[in-house]
Amino acid sequence: MGRLRWASSRMHTYQARARLRGRLMRAHEFDLVHLHYINRFTDAYSRLPRPLVMSVHDVLPHQQRLGVQGEHRLLGRTYRRADLLVVHHERLMADLVERFGIDRSTIRVVPHQVFPVDEYDSVRPAGAPMFLFFGALRPNKGLDVLVEALRIVPKLDARVVIAGRGSPDIEDMARTLAASDQRVTCEIGQVTHQRKGELFRQASAVLLPYTSFTSQSGVLHDAYGHRRPVVVSAVGALGKTVEEDGTGQVVAPRDPSLLASAMESALDSVAWDRWVAACDRVARERAPSVVGQELRRVYLELLGAAQRP
């Protein structure tokens, strides 16, 4: 019943969005359309313009509503409707090829942009170190792994702030952890843009101990924008990105001992300075103006191909 209620409540919204988008595209003549946020429930069958670019942020949805086979068919049909697919890492390109048989020649890798943050501090925050666990609270985010990691290091001299909203059971897990461990506080609910900035500036490091992931992370790039090191799991594009960027530590997923050890290592001042410098470099390299130029090259490539006889 829960799944049916969800489908009923969301389908109206998805269809309304698809109709609005359709009216917009019919009312104007576009050289090219880029769908940055696709919807597998409508885009698999909706009338779509050509030439068409689609960004694939999540190769697989975080929550599969239609079962493995149903999701696979719907997603495969959606992806094949694009003339070009844009992903944010080579790992995600490989996922599209391996999982869905997408032709590699129709995929382009454009890095995830880092939104500029003017008010950041490259100096370690004053007071006790703070680890930030931020964003949508879903089962795959690894909060249960963090719970076990904190039990392993009961004397870790650091605070942990959990901020966001999501699945009721994960929200309850956060509240229970905060009630049982004085090092932990939680802010459950919608986080304002101002409060988000405050939390990232106060953080010594950002935790992303995801247990499963076939995406690139917006939270990771929020950390980059605020020049904050990260501790991440080797899932999806997370681990590879951090290894390549040199912006923090990568641990195996679902391993509380490794996570606990990485949290202790994150307090080392020499390593922290090195990671912050790397975050600053990446933030500049992936500024919207830079990524925008890469997207423009993708558009011009596709338009040139569309105009050739």
- Tens digit of pLDDT at every position of the chain (309 positions): 445 554 555 566 777 777 777 777 777 888 999 999 888 888 888 888 889 999 999 999 877 666 778 888 999 999 999 999 999 999 999 999 999 999 999 999 999 999 988 777 677 888 889 999 999 999 999 999 999 999 999 999 999 999 999 999 999 999 999 999 999 999 999 999 999 999 999 999 999 999 999 999 999 999 999 999 999 999 999 999 999 999 999 999 999 999 999 999 999 999 999 999 999 999 999 999 999 999 999 999 999 977 765
Question: Do 130-285 and 2-113+288-307 have the same topology in CATH?
Answer: yes
SS (H, E, C) the chain: CHHHHHHHHHHHHHHHHHHHHHHHHHHCCCCCEEECCCCHHHHCCCCCCCCEEEECCECCCCCCCCHHHHHHHHHHHHHCCCCEEEECCHHHHHHHHHHHCCCHHHEEECCCCCCCCCCCCCCCCCCCCEEEEECCECHHHCHHHHHHHHHHCCCCCCEEEEEECECHHHHHHHHHHHHHCCCEEEEECCCCHHHHHHHHHHCCEEEECCCCCCECCHHHHHHHHCCCCEEEECCCCHHHHHHHHCCEEEECCCCHHHHHHHHHHCCCHHHHHHHHHHHHHHHHHCCHHHHHHHHHHHHHHHHHHHHCC
Pick the CATH number of 2-113+288-307 from 3.40.50.80, 3.20.20.70, 3.40.50.360, 3.40.50.2000: 3.40.50.2000
CATH number, span 130-285 = 3.40.50.2000
* Distance from C-alpha of 293 to C-alpha of 288, rounded to nearest angstrom: 8
* Distance from C-alpha of 296 to C-alpha of 279, rounded to nearest angstrom: 25
pLDDT confidence of residue 70: 80
Phi-psi region of 306 (alpha: psi -120 to 50; beta: other; left: phi over 0): alpha
Amino acid identity, position 261: S
- Nearest Cα neighbor of 277 from 127, 124, 132, 133 is 124
Domain ranges in the chain are: 2-113+288-307, 130-285
64: tokens are 């599969």
pLDDT confidence of residue 11: 64
Q: How many CB atoms lie within 10 A of CB 85?
A: 25
pLDDT confidence of residue 22: 75
Residue recorded with tokens 């919807």: 39
* Distance from C-alpha of 222 to C-alpha of 193, rounded to nearest angstrom: 12
Q: Are 107 and 79 in contact (CB under 8 A)?
A: no
For the four alpha carbons of 120, 122, 126 and 130, in that order, the dihedral sign comes to positive
Contacts of 265 (CB under 8 A, 6+ apart): 249, 271
* Distance from C-alpha of 136 to C-alpha of 58, rounded to nearest angstrom: 14
Rg of the chain's alpha carbons, rounded to an integer?
21
174: tokens are 């956060």
Strand partners, 137: 166
Strand partners, 35: 54
What does pTM read for this prediction? 0.91
Strand arrangement of the beta sheet that strand 33-35 belongs to: 33-35, 52-55, 84-87, 107-109
